[in-house]
Amino acid sequence: MSEIVFERVTHRFDAEPVVHDVSLVLTEHRIGIVGANGSGKSTLARMINGLVTPTAGRVTVAGLDVARQGREVRRRVGFVFTNADNQIVMPTVREDIAFTLRRHRLSAADAAARVDRALVRFGLTELADRPAHRLSGGQKQLLALAAVLVAEPAIVVADEPTTLLDARNARRIAEHFAELDQQLVVVSHQLELLESFDRVIVMESGRVVADDEPRAALAAYRSLVE
pLDDT at 103: 84
Cα–Cα distance, 221 to 204 (Å, whole number): 9
Q: Residue 155 belongs to a domain with what CATH number?
A: 3.40.50.300
Segment 163-184 mean pLDDT? 93
Give the domain range for residue 59.
4-225
pLDDT tens-place string over residues 104-144: 889 999 999 999 999 999 999 999 999 999 999 999 999 99
User: What is the total count of domains within the chain?
Assistant: 1
Angle formed at CA 184 by CA 181 and CA 186, multiple of 5 degrees: 150
Interior/surface letters 77-95, b for 16+ CB within 10 angstroms, e for the rest: bbbbbbbbeebbebeebbe
Least Cα distance to 22 among 39, 38, 36 occurs for 39
**Does the pLDDT of residue 15 top 90, yes or no?**
no
Whether this model's pTM surpasses 0.85: yes
**Does the pLDDT of residue 222 top 90, yes or no?**
yes
Alpha-carbon separation of residue 172 from 153, 162, 198, 201, 223 (angstroms): 21, 9, 20, 24, 29
**Does the pLDDT of residue 14 top 90, yes or no?**
no
Helices (H), the chain: 41-46, 70-76, 93-99, 108-121, 137-149, 167-179, 214-225
Average pLDDT value over all residues in the chain = 95
Segment 26-38 mean pLDDT? 97
pLDDT at 22: 98
Q: Are 34 and 192 in contact (CB under 8 A)?
A: no
